[in-house]
């Protein structure tokens, strides 16, 4: 499932995938894969992303019930 919440939060901070990747210590491809739903990040990476984007884990990674 695509992570549109992550993509939106990243865009709201005016960060490219490359910039976010640098800030959390991963490759741009990793951020791209998370946003596309092709990769499930570790909890450590999720927390790092949340800190950079000033969001909670629930705000970025909790899947709403359909």
* CA–CA distance, 8 with 25 (Å, rounded to integer): 20
pTM (2 d.p.): 0.91
Which tens digit of pLDDT belongs to each residue from 44-62? Answer: 999 999 999 999 999 999 8
| 8 Å CB contact between 48 and 25 | yes
Give me 44's structure tokens: 């450590």
CATH for 4-61, among 1.10.260.40, 1.20.1370.20, 3.40.1380.10, 1.10.1060.10?
1.10.260.40
How high is the pLDDT of residue 66?
A: 58
How high is the pLDDT of residue 65?
A: 64
Measured CA to CA in angstroms, residue 54 lies from 30, 36, 50 at distances of 20, 21, 6
Percent of the chain surpassing pLDDT 90 = 89
């Amino acid at each position: 499932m695509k992570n549109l919440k992550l993509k939106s939060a990243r865009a709201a901070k005016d960060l490219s995938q490359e910039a976010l990747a640098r800030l959390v210590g991963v490759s741009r491809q990793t951020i791209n894969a998370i946003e596309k739903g092709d990769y499930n990040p570790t909890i450590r990476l999720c927390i790092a992303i949340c800190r950079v984007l000033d969001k909670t884990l629930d705000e970025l990674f909790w899947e709403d019930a359909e």
